[in-house]
Structure 1
Amino acid sequence: MNILERFSLKGKVIVVTGGTGILGKAFVKGLAEAGAKICIIGRSQEKAAERVKLVETLGGDALAVVADVMDEHSIREAKERILEKWGTIDGLVNAAGGNIPGATIAPGDSIFDNKIGDTIKAIELNLFGTIIPTMIFGEVMAEKGTGSIINISSLAASRPITRVLGYTVAKHGVDGFTKWMATELALRYSNRIRVNAIAPGVFLTEQNRTLLTNEDGSYTERADKFVQNTPFQRLGDPSELEGTLVYLLSDASAFVSGETIFVDGGFNSWCGV
C-alpha cells in the first residue's frame, strides 16, 4: 500500500456524533472527500438530513440518525441501524459537546456563585457524551480487532482558560479517558485499535458565539485575547481540522495511539513573548 492509499478512508464506516454542529459539518465533509461512509448522529433531524445531502453531493454514502449521546438506549439503537445498513463500524468521531451558557462564569461574578447544576451538565455532556458512544460503538471495533476512535479535547485541558469551569474539567477527563482507552483496547483486544484526541484551537461555533462576538459581529475582548496569544494571529477555520482528522482515522497513523494533537495555530506552544 503506497502512502496515498494509506491516507484513504475509502469504504470505511465512520460514525460522527455531533455531526450536525459547525465543527461536525467540517468533519463530515472531510471524511466524505476521503471516501468514508458516514453515519451522522445528532439531535436535529433537519440538520442531519442536510449533512447527508452534503455527503451525497460529494459522491459519498451517508446515514442520518437522531440520537442523544447521553442516552445509552438511543446510542445502542443507532449502532443497530448502522450495522443493519453497513455491517460494521471502522471509526468513531466523538464530536458532540460544547459549553453550556449557565456553566460560564460572567466576568463580574464570584466563581463561588457559579450555577453548580449547569457546571455538572457541562461535565456530563463533554465527558460522558464521549464515554458512552465509545463504549457502545467501540465494542464493534474490539470484536473485529480494528478501528480508530477520535475524541475532541480542548486547549482548556492544557492551559487554564478562565470562566469555563465545567468545560475545563470535562476536557481534562477526555484527555485521561483517551489515554486509558488507548491502553486498554490495545492490551486486551488488538494493536490495530487506536484512540486519539484532537485539541482544536479557537474556532467560532454556535456554542461560543456570544463569548467571542458582539451583536455587531465584531470580536469581544475575550476573542481578541485569543487572537493576540496565537502566533498565527487569527481564529481557526473549521476546514483546518479535516486533515488531522483524516490522518488519525486512516492507516497512515497506524502506530499513533493515546495522543492529543493540537490544531491551534501555535496557541498551546507560545508563552506570549
Structure 2
Amino acid sequence: MSKVVVLTGAGGVLCSTLAKALAKQGHKIAVLDLKIEAAEQVAKEIEAEGGTAIGVIANVLENESLEAAKSKINEALGSVDILVNGAGGNHPLGTTSNPFLQEGDLSSSVEGFKTFFDLDPKGIEFVFNLNFIGTLLPTQVFAKDMVGKKGCSILNISSMNAFTPLTKIPAYSGAKAAVSNFTQWLAVHFSKVGIRVNALAPGFFLTDQNRTLLTNTDGSLTQRGQQIIDQTPMGRYGEPEDLISTTLYLCDDASSFVTGVVIPIDGGFSAYSGV
C-alpha cells in the first residue's frame, strides 16, 4: 500500500538513501532539506527511477517553514503517513579539543584549543536545538495528519553514542540521548491514536560532516578514525545501505506491534567493552 513519507534532512547522504529505498517500495516521497537544490536533486533521482517524489525546502527549527512545507506536501501528495526525522548534526563550538582533561590544558596557548571550560553555550544550544527541537517541531507539524489513521509511524534518528557517550562531543551525545528518550516518550503518548514511534541509532558512517575528522586526504584513517574501527567488532564503517532494511521494517506494517525501540546499527560498537 502506497503511503506518503516525509523525510527531513533528506538532501544528505544517509537520508537520501532511505528516501530512495522507501520510494522503491511504492511510497510517495517528500524530500525535505534546508538546501532546496539538494532536496530537488534527490527528488529528481527518485523520479528518474520511476518513483514519485517532490523536493521541499524546510527549516526544522522554524514552525512557519514546516507548516508551509506541509501545505505543499498535502497538496501534491496527500495526507502524511510516515515521518523520518533525519535532520541533525554537530558543531565545533560544542566539542573539546582533547578526549581527556589534563592539568596543562588549562594554560594552553594553542589557537582554537578548547577544554570543557571553554565550550560555548551557543554552540551547545545549536546542537541541542538541531537534534532535539529539530525532531520535536516536525513531529508536531506532520503527526497531526496521522492521528486516528492506520499504518502510521515516526522514525527518529538517534545515535549509538546515546547509549555510551563518545569523548570530545558532549553536546551531540547529550542531544542524541534526548532523542532516544523522546522516542520512548512519544511512543507511549501516541499509543492510543495509532502512531508508532521508533528510532535508529547509527554507528559510524562516513558523511560530508565527519569525513575530514575520520579520514585523511589520501583516504587513510586519522587516529580517531582508526580508534573507531578498532572499537567496532565488524571492523568497518557503515554504508548508507546498511540502514535500509531496519528502516523499511520499522516503517512497514510488519512491525505493527513494535513501538518505543531504539535499534543500534553500528557493527557492534555499542556492545563492545574494548576487552
Which blocks of at least 5 consecutive residues in structure 2 are unaligned? Answer: 99-112
Question: Separation in 1 of the partners of 2:244 and 2:235?
Answer: 20
Contact 1:100–1:207 (Cα < 8 Å) also in 2: no
> 3-state SS of the aligned residue for 2:31?
strand
Check if 1:148 corresponds to 2:139.
no
Q: Give the TM-score normalised by structure 2.
A: 0.91
2:133 is aligned to: 128
1:28 to 8, 11, 19: 19
Check if 1:75 corresponds to 2:80.
no
Contact 2:11–2:31 (Cα < 8 Å) also in 1: yes
- Give the aligned residue type for 2:92: P
Q: Could you report, residue by residue, the CA deviation over 1:122-164 in whole angstroms, capped at 9, with x for unpaired residues?
A: 0110000000001110111014354110000001100120111
Deviation at 1:43, TM superposition (A): 1.3
Question: Separation in 1 of the partners of 2:43 and 2:144?
Answer: 25
- Give the aligned residue type for 1:223: G
2:221 to 219, 224, 227: 219
Question: Separation in 1 of the partners of 2:51 and 2:260?
Answer: 30
Question: Separation in 2 of the partners of 1:58 and 1:256?
Answer: 31
Max radius of gyration: which structure?
Answer: 2
Alignment of 1:164-243 (within 5 A): 164-187=169-192, 189-190=193-194, 193-243=195-245
| Greater alpha carbon shift after TM alignment, 41-50 vs 150-159 | 41-50
Question: Separation in 2 of the partners of 1:104 and 1:84?
Answer: 42
Contact 2:127–2:172 (Cα < 8 Å) also in 1: yes
2:101 is aligned to: none
Deviation at 1:35, TM superposition (A): 1.6
> 3-state SS of the aligned residue for 2:146?
helix
Alignment of 1:51-70 (within 5 A): 51-70=42-61
Deviation at 1:270, TM superposition (A): 1.6
Deviation at 1:109, TM superposition (A): 3.3
2:165 is aligned to: 160
- Give the aligned residue type for 2:66: I
> 3-state SS of the aligned residue for 1:41?
strand
2:246 to 244, 247, 253: 244
Deviation at 1:86, TM superposition (A): 2.2
Contact 1:30–1:243 (Cα < 8 Å) also in 2: no
Q: Could you report, residue by residue, the CA deviation over 1:3-27 in whole angstroms, capped at 9, with x for unpaired residues?
A: xxxxxxx411100000001111211
Contact 1:99–1:208 (Cα < 8 Å) also in 2: no
1:112 is aligned to: 117
2:29 is aligned to: 38
- Give the aligned residue type for 2:83: L
1:88 is aligned to: 79
1:254 is aligned to: 256
2:270 is aligned to: 268
Deviation at 1:100, TM superposition (A): 1.5
- Give the aligned residue type for 2:257: F
CA 1:216/1:102 → structure 2, altered by over 3 Å: closer, same or farther? farther
- Give the aligned residue type for 2:54: L
> 3-state SS of the aligned residue for 1:125?
helix
Q: Percent identity among equivalent residues? A: 43
Deviation at 1:215, TM superposition (A): 3.1
- How many residues are aligned here? 261
